[in-house]
């Protein structure tokens, strides 16, 4: 496995104490948020769901990307399709239930009964005759591009998307030993937060705050051990060491389960933290994988869905439930500690007295995230 080159913070993208942060408007401005939607969320590959959530033909899950609603569905050829949730007749939303099964193996508009196959093709338009501008073949549902990596379904709403491998170069081959595509969801928690989506990514990628905010986390992993690799594409991250051999991030510090698949060597002593820009946080442990799905609802509100992935045999083993529970409780505690300070930062940066803050030299990875954002937006002057 290509683990990449790791280094201590501040070597390749050095910053000094006092390097300036983004101005407060980047967390509050409706205008900037709309620009982020158009230039980032509608153009980058974004995480949508786990393939296991739509495992059988007809299974679907609705996904919201800013103002767009998409139907993630498994079609008759067992491929995953991302269909825009908009009837080609007069624009009616086709589906409003967050998940389910299309038992008829078709999708029917609730208004005028136009009916579509699971791959989006128009099957039936009652009383409509072809000709005079109407052709069934021209009225398939619009689709977004789909790519599945390690069981994670990513979609891209751009009509001419960049190759997935280009945006996600840093992830290619990195976590092969975990066989994440074979893991299954053991638990899911949803958090509704009053803060900007970028604050969650920033919080996730630094441990400058850990001693004061996360006393238990600091016991389990030394703050000074944080390292990150060279950034490629829209993926930024690295690892921290575990304090205890054979341990993990749980309430007791003990492993929640045996090590996953082929994980070995140094990976048994590390927790990896990767921001998959713009809407996913990925945290492989030796014994399970944690990840977050971030859905912005405007410049000052998000939904954060947090998932714990374990081996199926662990999930089905009644004796292993205590370990899973310990992992969930630890990260739920840690998450809530993070969410509190993120919401306080959202409130504070709205003050007229806040213009731009100051990074410490330990926060170079946050400055790198800022640069990725500004590059995507095409902003050169942040004043």
SS3 for 167-183, per residue? HCHHHCCCCHHHCHHHC
The position carrying tokens 């070597």 is 11
CB 229 within 8 A of CB 6: yes
CB 193 within 8 A of CB 342: yes
Residue intervals of the chain classified under CATH 3.90.380.10 are 6-43+177-377
CATH code, residues 6-43+177-377: 3.90.380.10
The torsion angles phi and psi of 45, rounded to 5 degrees, stand at -70, 130
Name the more confident of 23 and 360.
23
Nearest to 309 by CA among 285, 293, 279: 285
Cβ neighbours of residue 333 closer than 8 Å, sequence gap 6 or more = 216, 251
For residue 298, pLDDT beyond 80 = yes
What is the token pair recorded at 30? Answer: 């409706």
The position carrying tokens 């990513």 is 154
How is domain 46-161 classified at the CATH fold level? Rieske Iron-sulfur Protein (2.102.10)
What percentage of residues in the chain have a pLDDT greater than 70? Answer: 94
In our burial notation (b when 16+ CB lie closer than 10 A, e otherwise), range 329-352 reads ebbbebbebbbebbeebbeebeee
Give the pLDDT confidence score for residue 201 in this predicted structure. Answer: 94
pLDDT band at residue 9, thresholds of 50, 70 and 90?
very low
Report, as an integer, the average pLDDT of 275-287: 96
Label the pairing between strands 270-276 and 280-284: antiparallel
Q: Over the stretch 50-107, which tens digit does the pLDDT of each residue have?
A: 999 999 999 999 999 999 999 999 999 999 999 999 999 999 999 999 999 999 999 9
- Cα–Cα distance between 106 and 136 in angstroms, integer? 16
Residue intervals of the chain classified under CATH 2.102.10.10 are 46-161
First to last CA, the chain: 43
Mean pLDDT (the chain) is 92
Give the pLDDT confidence score for residue 224 in this predicted structure. Answer: 75
Range with the poorest average pLDDT among 18-32, 153-167, 208-222, 338-352: 208-222
Helix and strand element counts for the chain (H, E): 8, 20
């Amino acid at each position: 496995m290509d683990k990449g080159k790791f280094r201590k913070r501040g070597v390749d993208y050095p910053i000094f104490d006092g390097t300036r942060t983004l101005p407060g408007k980047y967390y509050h401005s409706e205008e900037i948020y709309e620009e982020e939607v158009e230039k980032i969320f509608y153009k980058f590959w974004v995480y949508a769901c786990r393939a296991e959530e739509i495992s059988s033909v007809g299974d679907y899950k609705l996904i919201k990307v800013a103002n767009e609603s998409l139907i993630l569905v498994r079609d008759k050829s067992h491929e995953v399709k991302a269909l825009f949730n908009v009837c080609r007749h007069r624009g009616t939303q086709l589906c409003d239930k967050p998940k389910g099964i299309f038992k008829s193996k078709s999708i029917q508009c609730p208004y005028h009964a136009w009916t579509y196959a699971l791959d989006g093709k128009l099957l039936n338009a009652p009383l409509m005759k072809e000709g005079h501008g109407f052709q069934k073949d021209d009225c398939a549902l619009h689709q977004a591009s789909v790519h599945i990596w390690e069981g994670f379904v990513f979609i891209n709403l751009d009509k001419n998307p960049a190759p997935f491998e280009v945006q996600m170069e840093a992830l290619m081959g990195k976590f092969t030993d975990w066989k994440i595509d074979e893991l299954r969801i053991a638990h899911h928690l949803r958090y509704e937060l009053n803060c900007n989506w970028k604050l969650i990514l920033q919080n996730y990628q630094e441990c400058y705050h850990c001693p004061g905010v996360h006393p238990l986390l600091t016991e389990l992993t030394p703050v000074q051990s944080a390292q990150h690799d060279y950034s490629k594409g829209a993926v930024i991250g690295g690892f921290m060491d575990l304090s205890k051999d054979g341990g993990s991030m749980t309430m007791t510090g003990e492993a929640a389960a045996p090590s996953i698949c082929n994980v070995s060597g140094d990976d048994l002593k590390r927790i990896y933290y990767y921001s998959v820009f713009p809407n996913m946080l990925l945290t492989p442990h030796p014994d399970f994988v944690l990840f977050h799905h971030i859905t912005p609802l405007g410049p000052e509100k998000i939904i954060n869905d947090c998932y714990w992935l374990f081996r199926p045999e662990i999930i089905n083993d009644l004796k292993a439930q205590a370990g899973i529970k310990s992992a969930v409780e630890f990260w739920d505690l840690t998450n809530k500690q993070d969410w509190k300070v993120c919401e306080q930062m959202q409130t504070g940066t709205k003050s007229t007295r806040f213009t731009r803050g100051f990074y410490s030299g330990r926060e170079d990875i946050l400055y790198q995230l800022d640069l990725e954002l500004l590059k995507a937006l095409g902003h050169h002057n942040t004043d």
